[in-house]
Amino acid sequence: MRLSQPFCLLALAAAALGLACSAAGAQDYPLKPVRWVVAYPPGGTTDILARLIGQYLSEHLGQQFVIDNRPGAGNNIGTEAVANAPPDGYTLLLVNPANGINVTLYKKLPFNFLRDIAPVAGITRVPNVMEVNPKFPAKTVAEFIAYAKANPGKINMASSGNGTSVHLSGELFMAMTGVKMTHVPYRGAGPALTDLIAGTVDVMFDNLPSSIEFIRSGKLRALAVTTEARNPALPDVPVVADTVPGYEASAWFGIGAPRGTPASIIEKINRTVNDALAEPKMKLRLADLGGIPMTGTPADFGKVMASETEKWAKAVRFSGASIE
């Protein structure tokens, strides 16, 4: 069927208008405040990083990036809220290890993480730190293992919630050492740290940024970091693998958006985050928190999301952990 010349001209004009509107939308974005969902309460690493990067985004994109703390269900409440939000660039997710872990840990989820959350930008990768209350009798990982084996089930291990890297790092430690501890999940690192400092619980494998100031001030004692190499922020703290060969765990953080969010908006946020991570002051702040900047394209961060989901699946199966 041949189309009339006026119809063809109209169709071309409509297509051109659509492209122009799309470009203008990205150029003008954001026109109103952006909601950045953090699936944990204030005080933890996810909240610290979101506020740090969020302030830069607010200053350089001309609208407030408002942190919306939505804790609960091991990170799933906040993630589901973003997965179901309009894909217009005005709702973002602080992506963290629990997103990848929960894919295997939970038998049924109301969303598909890798399908429903589009990668936007990486932020940082950090170690976890094995830490205890200063009154705890062990001062090294070896002493901790000996004490735990002499007191099976009597040590309370706090975490920021079921399925977090904080939880799974502890489960991996138990599986590789044979020690038995009682897992005490909290609704985020903030309340867990409060109880660890108070002595209500004994040990935690926390993300380093939320614990480092408590370690420096002496309110907590760091036994080891969970990465293969020592961390420059705590140069005198050994690695768990010195005592438990082959042990390694780390946490990663970035930004996600609802599937279908315009690529032009995702790319604009990505460029701005990469600009932030390139600034000397930001690099210094992340290093002070024990983190390494994770720059790259949205596709690069998508590869991280996929590879970390696969990596933690092995850890979940190894630990035997499962949640209905």
Same-domain status, 162 and 108: no
Same-domain status, 188 and 276: no
Number of domains in the chain: 2
Does 3 map to a domain? no
- What CATH number corresponds to the domain at position 291? 3.40.190.150
Same-domain status, 217 and 238: yes
Same-domain status, 61 and 24: yes
| pTM of the model as a whole | 0.82
Task: Please report the pLDDT score of residue 10 as a whole number.
Answer: 46
Task: Please report the pLDDT score of residue 218 as a whole number.
Answer: 97
- For residue 41, whether the previous peptide bond is cis, meaning omega lies within 30 degrees of 0, is no
Map 156-199 to HEC letters: EEEECCCCCHHHHHHHHHHHHHCCCCEEEECCCHHHHHHHHHHC
Its domain, for residue 98, covers: 10-126+252-319
Same-domain status, 121 and 131: no
Task: Please report the pLDDT score of residue 143 as a whole number.
Answer: 98
Task: Please report the pLDDT score of residue 92 as a whole number.
Answer: 98
Q: Please, where are the H alpha helices in 63-151?
A: 76-83, 97-105, 113-116, 141-150
| Residue ranges of the chain whose pLDDT lies below 70 | 1-25
Q: Examine the fold and report which residue of 242, 272, 299 is the final residue of a domain before the chain moves on.
A: 242
